[in-house]
Amino acid sequence: MRETLAANISRYRKNMGLTQDALAEQLSITFQAVSKWETGQTVPDTALLPKLAQALNISIDKLLGYSAFVSDVSHYESDYRKDEYFWGIQPSMMCLKVIELLPPTRPLKILDIGCGEGKDAVFFARCGYEVSAFDFSQAGIEKTKRLADKARVHVNAFRANMWDYRLSEMYDVIFSSGALHYIKPELRDEVMTDYKTHVNDGGLVALHVFVEKPFIPPPPERENHSYFWKSGQLFMYFHDWHINHCTEYAFDCNSSGIPHRHAANRLVASCAKQA
């Protein structure tokens, strides 16, 4: 929570156009105190939270990273509490594309967004990448850590919500398989810009999103907070990057116990920043 709070204070302060000094003045504290909150060295006193939230024009819940959320995601929570791995432990095909294009011949940092129970994150760690991974499901994070322990590798796995978690460091690879449709459409531009600007020069994104197709019926599992992408939309976000691989395909799925089909777009693109 400390990391989320630190990132939120910094993000919403900037959104309000406030300097650290200006925020500190409103709260009758020093700018050094604000700076320490934003780097996660300290957290604000609880008595200050109402005033801080008011100054940033958000609720205390939102400040703490508990934006009204997604009871539906709890279906993952209960699925992941079972002993067996809901998604299995075999890495997704997209992992192989990453290894092919950016093998870990030097220290490389990967972030797996919506990592589930960690099959891809742990695979990357086993291959020698330095891996961070987050998911909204606490059970998923615990299972990711257990899978990493079993493989005797380290994954920096933590719980966070894509809706309000913003990146605070740069990565060589940003990876996400089957999770970005949980970003609310009105947040999509902001979140994708955040991900895009946190990839090192020469780094990659490897992203897999579910898309709507008129000839594929909606999936039987009804989730209120799932927003399938438009076909091709993902590629547009990376029109100014080198596209290594982009594809659309349909596949069978049985995740709800009822056989159905999904369509997906998969993109692997390299970041080449201008000189």
Ligand X SMILES: C[S@@+](CC[C@H](N)C(=O)[O-])C[C@H]1O[C@@H](n2cnc3c(N)ncnc32)[C@H](O)[C@@H]1O
**DSSP label at 163?**
T
Q: Which of 20, 44, 65, 135 binds ligand X (CB under 6 A)?
A: 135
* By CB under 6 A, residue 179 contacts ligand X: yes
* By CB under 6 A, residue 163 contacts ligand X: yes
Q: Which of 177, 237, 241, 271 binds ligand X (CB under 6 A)?
A: 177
Helix (H, G, I), strand (E, B) or coil at 208: strand
What is the residue type of 94? M
Question: What is the sign of the dihedral through the CA atoms of 165, 43, 2 and 37?
Answer: positive
* By CB under 6 A, residue 263 contacts ligand X: no
Partnered with residue 245 across adjacent β-strands are: 268
Q: Which residue lies nearer to ligand X by CB, 33 or 183?
A: 183
Residue written as token pair 């796995």: 157
Partnered with residue 265 across adjacent β-strands are: 209, 248
CB of 265 to ligand X, least distance (A): 15
Q: Which of 12, 123, 136, 227 binds ligand X (CB under 6 A)?
A: 136
- Sequence-distant (6+) residues with CB within 8 A of 45 are none
Distance from C-alpha of 53 to C-alpha of 44, rounded to nearest angstrom? 11
* By CB under 6 A, residue 114 contacts ligand X: yes
* By CB under 6 A, residue 266 contacts ligand X: no
* By CB under 6 A, residue 8 contacts ligand X: no
Partnered with residue 118 across adjacent β-strands are: none
Q: Which residue is nearest to ligand X (CB)?
A: 116
* By CB under 6 A, residue 65 contacts ligand X: no
Q: Which of 4, 9, 33, 76 binds ligand X (CB under 6 A)?
A: 76
Helix (H, G, I), strand (E, B) or coil at 251: strand
Query: Which residues contact ligand X by CB under 6 A?
Result: 73, 76, 87, 92, 114-116, 119, 135-137, 140, 161-163, 177-179, 182
